[in-house]
């Protein structure tokens, strides 16, 4: 029997211990409206009219105007204490934290985090002709030319209903190995994000809900209820202290 030839010993790459999912509630105290609360975005505009590929095909100008307004609103907002606390957690944990956001604003990034934007970003555009992605800081319209191919075919790089969220392989990989999954400021009604808590719990993690009010999802065994600017900094400090 030939002896196995020893190969180089490689250290296993540590995966995320903590996965945090954020939703519109984390940006509420920065002045950005949530979707489903009283006065939320979907109480004023029908999502079918602005947040589906069909809506864009039927009335691109309306859809572009909706996202142009949201981009401008986000530019006028500032990250709050909850965004800053998660940035602090990211600096302390490095790759042991995966921050996933459903939000298309850039408040996590402006606080110093590099979140995985599973529903895309208002601050990127994608060309429907060549597929190139670009930074997008100003209004888009039907005449805006793609810097890569020149076609007037740009759309906001956001995920619409009926489209595939971004980064799902990385997210499910992290959910399978994390110890803690925390959902912050999300109503938990939009899949697949709404299923992340169950997924993490099935793989052995503890699921924590940090929200204005409990959503009733039985996967969450720990609840921190109240405004995110109060609950998130406390949870971050406690979580980091427990690891020290």
Instruction: Name residue 211's beta-bridge partners.
Output: 225
- The residue annotated as part of the active site, out of 83, 108, 119, 223, is 119
Q: What is the Cα–Cα distance from 11 to 79, expressed in whole angstroms?
A: 37
| Position 227 contacts ligand OAD (CB under 6 A) | yes
The residue within the footprint of ligand OAD, chosen from 19, 35, 79, 196 (CB under 6 A), is: 35
Contacts of 53 (CB under 8 A, 6+ apart): 160, 162, 163
Shortest Cβ contact with ligand OAD: which residue? 25
| Position 136 contacts ligand OAD (CB under 6 A) | no
87 touches 99 (CB < 8 A): no
Rank residues 136 and 187 by Cβ distance to ligand OAD and give the closer one. 187
| Position 173 contacts ligand OAD (CB under 6 A) | no
| Position 25 contacts ligand OAD (CB under 6 A) | yes
- Residue 120 beta carbon to ligand OAD: minimum distance, rounded to whole angstroms: 8
119 is catalytic: yes
| Position 45 contacts ligand OAD (CB under 6 A) | no
CA distance readout (Å), 157 to 163, 171, 202, 222? 11, 19, 32, 34
| Position 190 contacts ligand OAD (CB under 6 A) | yes
The residue within the footprint of ligand OAD, chosen from 30, 102, 144, 239 (CB under 6 A), is: 102
Other Cβ atoms less than 10 A from the Cβ of 158: the count is 20
Q: How far apart are the first and last CA of the chain?
A: 48
Catalytic residue numbers, as ranges: 119
């Amino acid at each position: 029997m030939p002896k196995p030839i020893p190969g180089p010993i490689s250290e296993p790459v540590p995966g995320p211990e903590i996965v945090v999912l954020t939703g519109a509630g984390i940006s509420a105290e920065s002045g950005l409206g949530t979707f489903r609360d009283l006065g939320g975005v979907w109480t004023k505009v029908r999502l079918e009219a602005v947040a589906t590929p069909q809506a864009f095909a039927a009335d691109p100008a309306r859809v572009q105007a909706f996202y142009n307004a949201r981009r401008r609103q986000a530019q006028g907002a500032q990250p709050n204490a909850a965004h800053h606390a998660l940035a602090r957690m990211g600096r302390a944990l490095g790759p042991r934290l995966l921050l996933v956001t459903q939000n298309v604003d850039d408040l996590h990034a402006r606080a110093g985090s590099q979140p995985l934007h599973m529903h895309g970003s208002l601050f990127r555009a994608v060309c429907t002709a060549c597929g190139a992605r670009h930074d997008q800081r100003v209004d888009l319209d039907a005449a805006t030319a793609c810097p890569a191919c020149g076609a007037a075919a740009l759309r906001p790089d956001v995920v619409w209903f009926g489209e595939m969220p971004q980064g799902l392989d990385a997210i499910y990989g992290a959910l399978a190995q994390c110890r803690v999954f925390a959902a912050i400021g999300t109503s938990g009604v939009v899949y697949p994000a709404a299923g992340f808590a169950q997924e993490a719990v099935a793989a052995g993690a503890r699921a924590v809900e940090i929200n204005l009010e409990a959503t009733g999802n039985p996967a969450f065994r720990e609840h921190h209820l109240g405004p995110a600017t109060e609950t998130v900094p406390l949870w971050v400090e406690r979580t980091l202290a427990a690891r020290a």
